[in-house]
């Protein structure tokens, strides 16, 4: 089977949705790195606390908003397509 522009576009779209699915994990990792930040002894303003809280909220929002469509385009869509093709082979 030759590799044509249709296959290249499918790979690009797959990588795009995979990247979008990984964004909440990247955000969560950054929040974890900020939580390991320690202030020096003495009076210290934890500047990372506000950013960390915002990143944790952003993680939840981005996970809720991005993971369902990513799961659809990366997994469910292809399972349904193969299931329908299998039904067509049985019927036809």
| Average pLDDT, rounded, for the chain | 84
- pLDDT tens figures, 38-72: 766 666 666 777 788 888 899 999 999 999 999 99
- Percentage of the chain exceeding pLDDT 70: 83
Encoding tokens for residue 29? 């990792």
Q: What is the pLDDT of residue 66?
A: 93
Q: Give CA angle at 48 (65, 22), nearest 5°.
A: 30
92/10 Cα distance (integer angstroms): 27
Q: What is the pLDDT of residue 90?
A: 62
Domain ranges of the chain: 5-37+44-91
28/58 Cα distance (integer angstroms): 9
Cα Rg for the chain, rounded, in angstroms?
Answer: 21
The answer to whether 59 and 24 are in contact (CB under 8 A) is yes
pTM score of the predicted model? 0.70
Decide if pLDDT at 14 tops 60.
yes
Q: What is the pLDDT of residue 78?
A: 87
Nearest to 18 by CA among 57, 64, 58, 67: 67
């Amino acid at each position: 089977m030759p590799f044509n522009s249709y296959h290249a576009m499918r790979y690009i779209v797959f990588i795009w949705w995979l990247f979008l699915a990984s964004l909440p994990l990247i955000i969560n990792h950054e929040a974890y790195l900020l939580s390991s930040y320690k202030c020096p002894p003495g009076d210290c303003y934890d500047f990372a606390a506000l950013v960390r809280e915002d990143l944790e909220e952003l993680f939840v929002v981005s996970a809720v908003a991005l993971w369902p469509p990513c799961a659809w385009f990366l997994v469910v869509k292809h399972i349904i397509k193969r299931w329908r093709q299998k039904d067509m082979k049985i019927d036809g």
